[in-house]
Structure 1
Amino acid sequence: MTIQLTEKAIEVAKAALLETTSEEGEYLRISVHGGGCAGFKYGLSFSADTDENDLVMDYDGLKVVTDVFTATQISGTVIDYEETLSGSGFRFNNPTAKRTCGCGSSFG
């Protein structure tokens, strides 16, 4: 299972993590759950702890956690942070997605 985060994504996530309280978490949790217009929706949140079956990765000091289901759905994905005229946010480039939503936040 491989998930890549660009330098910009790591930088922005670390900065956001510094603004959270310890109760909100020390891990960046990546998740996939049903929803969105294409079937599945990506999720990013901060987590204070991990579950027994979670996978924990380190990206230049940023601790990232994900569950096994999510890991299988986003293996090979590159997560970037983009700033455009229409807004800014994390972008998921998932090579295994058969279809994606125009907003880039859901896939199928």
Structure 2
Amino acid sequence: MTDAPVTVSESAARRIAEIVSADAGKKALRVSVEGGGCSGFSYKFDVVDAQGEDDLVISKDGATVLIDSLSLVYMTGSEIDFVDNLLGQSFQIKNPNAVASCGCGTSFSI
């Protein structure tokens, strides 16, 4: 059990480490929440080279995830996972705060 406000699964940590290592100069995956999407909010994923002053830094198995303080309000209690199945590969956020989500898996409402 962890006290971290957001957790990262082992499969997500492995994939993040692969992505970041393949992009010279980049150090982390930034996950943020933006207004928009078919359910009101959407997740955005960016590979970045530096962290911001207000970022939560999550380190696991050689991977680093950054979440800004505003996005953290919407993501507290979530798990970042990476799924590889017949439908394809994608990062998925298991967010207990979301009351509805879209079939695309990246849009949600609170």
Taking structure 1 as the reference length, the TM-score comes to: 0.91
Unaligned runs of 5+ in 1: none
Greater mean alpha carbon deviation, residues 50-59 or residues 38-47 = 50-59
Q: Could you say which residue in structure 2 is the equivalent of 1:75?
A: 76
Q: Could you say which residue in structure 1 is the equivalent of 2:29?
A: 28
Distance 1:84 1:61 in 2: 24
Give the letter aligned to residue 11 of structure 1.
Answer: R
Q: Which runs of 4+ in 1 moved over 2 A?
A: none
Count of paired positions: 106
Between the two proteins, what is the percent identity of the paired residues? 34
The Cα offsets for residues 35-59 of structure 1, whole Å up to 9 and x where unpaired, read as 1100111111111112222222212
Distance 2:56 2:85 in 1: 32
Distance 2:58 2:84 in 1: 25
1:14 paired to 2:45 = no
Contact 2:27 2:64 in 1 (8 A): yes
Unaligned runs of 5+ in 2: none
